Structures are given as C-alpha cells and as structure tokens.
Chains A and B, each alone.
Chain A
Amino acid sequence: MFPILETKEIAKNVYLQRILAPRVAKKRKAGQFLVLRRTDNGERIPLTIVTSDAVEGTVTIIFQTVGKSTTEFARMKPGDTYLDVVGPLGLATHIENFGTVVGIGGGIGAAPLLPIATAIKAAGNRLLSIVGARTKDLLILEDEMRAVSDEIVVTTDDGSYAKKGFVTNALQEFIDRGEKIGLCIAIGPVPMMRAVAEVTRPHGIRTMVSLNPIMVDATGMCGACRVSVGGTTKFVCVDGPEFDGHQVDFKELVMRNRAYLLEEKTAMERIEHKDGKCMGSVAVPVGGGN
C-alpha cells in the first residue's frame, strides 16, 4: 500500500500528487516513470516521476485527467492509498554537456520535462526553455521551469497569456537568431512532438522526444507499447521512453493510442453514471496523455 500525502489541482484538470514510495524514490533518475494501480480491478497507469525525495521517501507525479483511471486518481485525498506503485521504469535520460539545449514542454508535457531540464542544467548546459499550452488555464510549471532555465519563452495557442502562438514558433525564433543548439528535447502531445521534429530536421538538430503509448505491464513482456523507430520496432517501456524524434513513426503512435477510444468511453460513462452526475467534458488529447 502506498499512501498519498498530497493532492492538488495545479491547472484545469491537471493534478499534482505526492506519494510515499521509498524504494522508487531512492532509485529514480530523470526521464523515468512509474506505474500506478488504485484498486484490484484497476488499470496499470504509467506516469512520469516529476521529482522525488529520497529522504522523505516520496515521489511526485503530475497528471491530466483524461479518462476513468486518471479521473479517479485525481479524487484521491491524503491518507488514501494506491494498491501498487512500480518503478522506476524506463531508461533514464542520457545527460551530458551538449552546450546549448532547448527544452520544450507542451501542455502536460512540462511535467516530464521538468526533471530532465533540471538534470540538463545541473550538467552545465545552457538551457533555453519553451513552455506552451493551448490556453492560460492549462499552463503548468512555469515558475519551476523558469528557475532552471537560462532563458524561457511561454506561449499560449490562443494568446490568453504570454506570447501567442505555438511552441514551434518560439523554437523557430531561437533557430533564426542563430542559436547553436546541441540538443532539443520536446515532450508534449504527439502532434506537437512531431511538429518540433519537423522544425529541427532541416537544421540537423538532434531532437529527443518522450513517447506515451498505451502500456500494460511496462516491463517489456507484452509488446503493447511498441512503436516504430527508424523502421524497427521498439518497446517504449524498456527501450524508451525517449527516442530520436527524427526516426519515430508518429502517425503510427497517434493511431495506436486510439485503440481503446470506444472502451474508454464506456468506462467513463460508468463512473459518471455511478456518481449520478455528469463529469462535464473531459479533455481527450489527440493521441493521449502527455
């Protein structure tokens, strides 16, 4: 049993949670994730570990409520427990001194970006950050990202806050002003990561993306999380989650993440029904969570 110490809504439908999981807290490195299960009938849900405190034995996650499981997670209060917490999983981010690094977090993607950005900065890189969201209400971790960045640009698609436009516009400006970029790390909705990869490709800028396929076991046993990278099949849970954005077949990933749309609708209707009220519209990002 893994008790929750804190749950807090940090943006619209975005929650931060601190969970007691000492083994995971002790080991985790930037870029890794964990798997959570709330009840015995529950799904195994992968979420990035945003920070951890080895002394206190806690891990912090930030997630968006997209379907049944994450919605139920968001309702859990301090004292409630997860039945299972597994991790840390996936490969840790490869960190070295690349010179100048551009870190891009779109929407909920700022959550997985933060630990990587922190490690990148600690390794002596110059960090240029771009944090974007569709609208002001969805923007997260601006202050935290600002604290680790040498420079930060915040964008909103609708111009409701900071700079109007997409994260790719801001990236293009960095490139246009002649920044020598050693590495670009982009985490966010799949279409955003694909768009970033297309901006950097002509300039030959190395671009890492963090993928969020549907997973089951997350230990390399089932193959649910497979993606095509450079024409070969990879299992994101053990070979990733980070891959070369210029090699990833994003179209396939978007499609595969839609596999259970119908079933997920059934599951959501079920909790709405049980509550005797409508949950209101729940954000279903194209291609899933990050």
Chain B
Amino acid sequence: MPVIGFIEAIRQAIGEEMERDPSVFIMGEDVKLGAFAATRGLFEKFGAARVRNTPISEAGIAGAGIGAAMAGMRPIVEIEFASFFYCCFDQVCNQAAKLRYMSGGQARLPLTFRCVYGAMGSAAAQHSEVIYPQFLAAPGLKIVVPSGAAEAKGLLKAAIRDDNPVLVFEHGRLGFTQGEVPDGEYIIPLGRGAVKRAGTDLTIIAIGAMVPKALTVAEEMAKDGVSVEVWDPQTLVPLDEEGMLASVAKTGRVVIADEGHLRGGAAGDLAAIIIDKGFDYLNAPIKRVTALDVPIPFSPPLENYVLPDEAKIKAAVQEILP
C-alpha cells in the first residue's frame, strides 16, 4: 500500500470526488491557494467555478452551501479552523441540521463541511478548539473524525457522497503524519468504528488525534504484559454502538481519550452510552482522559498541562487495571 500524507489523502479524496461527480464543488476562504494545502492544485485542475475562493464570511458561505445542496449540487465547504464555526452556528445548527426534519423529509442536503481542529502548538484559545461536542447536541448533522491518512480519505469520500450534512474534523497535528492508504477506490462507510489494535484487558476508545497516542500507550503496555485494545469510533454520528459495546464486552474496562473538554464533551457522551447499554460488561469505572475545562492557553507549559497526552492516558489505564 502506498504511504501518503494526511493532507495528501484529503486532497485525493476531494479531487477524486470532483472528477467522479460534476455536482461536487468546494468553496471556502483561500481554497485557491489552500491555507492548509489540502486544496492545493485543485483550482488549476478544476477552475474557479468549482474551486471557489470566498470572502471571509462564514455565515454566508455555510448558508450558500446549504442552498446549493438543496438545489442539486454537492458542495464541500471549508471552514479553515474549527473555532470559526461559531461564526456560522445558525446556518449549521438551525438550518442545515433541521431542514430535512422540518420539511418532513423533503429536503436533501448532500453537504460536507471540513475544518481543522485541535491544538497544534500555542495557537491559543481561538484556534485550538475541539468543537464537535457542540454539534453532537444538534441532531441532524453527521460527525466524522479521522485518525490518520487512510481514515481521512475513506471517510471524506463517504461524507461527500452522503445525502446529509456531514462535518469532517481534521486534526491540525495529524496534518504532519503519513499513513498507508489503499490504492484505488477506498471508502469507509459512515457509522462504522474500527478496532485499531486488538487486546483483551482494556479498551481505549480514542477519537481523532488521540488514536495514534492510544496506540503508543498500548504498545508500551504490551511490554508489561497488558493487552490493550484500541477502538476508533471514526464517526461520532452515526455512532457504531454495536462495535463499541462489543469491545467493552470483550475487555470489561474502558478509558476514553478525547482532546475535547471534559464537561459536555464527546468522552462523556460515549461513557453515558456505555453505562446505559453495557453496564453489565464493566468491571471498573470508565475513565475519561480529556483536556481540562479551561480555554486552551497560549504558553507552552500551560498548554501541555491542559491537554491530554500519552502519560495521562497511561495513568488512566493503570488506574483501572485489576
């Protein structure tokens, strides 16, 4: 399998889908040059109409994406940094999320939003956010969080082909990683999680950029004879509950690692589902490893202190091993 970069995987997914389906187009701020390089080269290939450089006007862009989707196109809307989603919350949560429902199933919104999320080194509070928990509370949106290059390509292609509004969250730090991506047509269906490493003693449920960290911890702990399974939900909505509960049933112990905040976060949401539907499988309390409940600070020692890392995941694992 070819090894490619995370960003290249995204570029391939967009390029291939634009090639395949003339109704796919991309718009966003600086997509012409590609602020994070994910759209670089597409302008030259597909032209200004289908690679639409927009003004800085997130609400306008998001709404235009909704309207274009309702009127028969398949837009990909890039919202540079996840935090900028706040500028278009109404369009995403009040409009995109609800239009199909409110119209009694009439409206079709084949719309993909993409953004870069997470802490990437002293970008401070307004550029370091994990914002998908906010969208978990808005039914009607699918939420995708790839953990590596293959996932980025496979999930993004599925998102673009989906007939619903899908939000794809690409971690800024993963932008520097590479991974094996299968050749040719490669799609990961939305709503299917994956065991990224099999184990029997404990499950780390890891989201997005926490997956490689969880794998590192699992490898380390294997040396001490502890068998850790790493499970990646891949999509938070729809959620592969069955897959998640199967892993919990197998190991009986759960650590959930997410870079979002503790309160109101995705880790809490998954923990609640496990307690609801898999309480009998549990041999220990569920541990959540997340960012602390403060805005992400600027200064490196503060940022490190607030963010979850391998050491914090490992400590949580050790805490609930028998």
Q: Do A and B make up one complex? A: no
Residues of B that sit less than 8 Å from A by CB: none
